[in-house]
Amino acid sequence: MKDDDQGIFFVHRCIKDDINGQTFQLIFLNELKEKREATQSYGYNFIEQEKIMGYWVAETALTKYYLEDLMVDILYEASFFGFTQEHLQEEKDELDRRIAEDDSETISAEDFFAELEEEQGYKFDRQSSDEQKLEMKVIKMAGEYWEHSRKKELHNVIKLLGI
């Protein structure tokens, strides 16, 4: 993402709370031209409000349908560090500092909960192996649905932009 790159907001479907939902995405025009449906999405709570207000909103049918929800999300994220964003750069710097100094190891959720049980004496509800397998299938299918809808909507954005 370059500072002068044109941002584009769009909506695509996903599974939320076991039902059909939607998610809001920010992409950038230069990357979309280069990577097409493989373009990356970005968070927008660390972007200056002045920049966000100049970004485009894709005129796809799904984005238009959820336009009010998208606008609420953009306003919420853009004001996460305050309406004036006076401390935005400080927050960015602090996040960068913490990431740079983080030397913790990544562990699986299963190992994390096992450590909690051992250290705290807390007992967690555990799924049976057949439940775990079914849950993994559901998670995989939800991910495939997310990716399918994202690519479909990116294709619609590309088509609307004529690129």
Long-range contacts, stretch 44-49, CB < 8 angstroms, 24+ apart: 44/7, 44/74, 44/77, 44/78, 45/77, 45/78, 45/80, 45/81, 46/88, 46/91, 46/92, 46/95, 47/7, 47/78, 48/85, 48/88, 49/78, 49/79, 49/85
* pLDDT given at position 4: 58
Dihedral of CA atoms 56, 142, 76, 35 in degrees, nearest 10, equals -30
Listed by start position, the domains of the chain span: 7-161
Q: How far is CA 115 from CA 104, 106, 107, in A?
A: 15, 13, 10
DSSP letter at 104? P
> What predicted TM-score, i.e. pTM, was given to this entire model?
0.77
Question: Going residue by residue through the chain (163 aa), what tens digit of pLDDT does each one get?
Answer: 455 589 999 999 999 887 789 999 999 999 999 999 999 999 888 788 889 999 999 999 999 999 999 999 999 888 876 666 666 677 777 777 887 887 777 888 788 888 888 888 888 788 899 999 999 999 999 999 999 999 999 999 999 999 9
Q: What is the rounded radius of gyration, in angstroms, for the C-alpha atoms of the chain?
A: 20
Indicate if the alpha-carbon torsion angle 53, 55, 59, 61 is positive or negative: negative
* pLDDT given at position 2: 53
* pLDDT given at position 99: 78
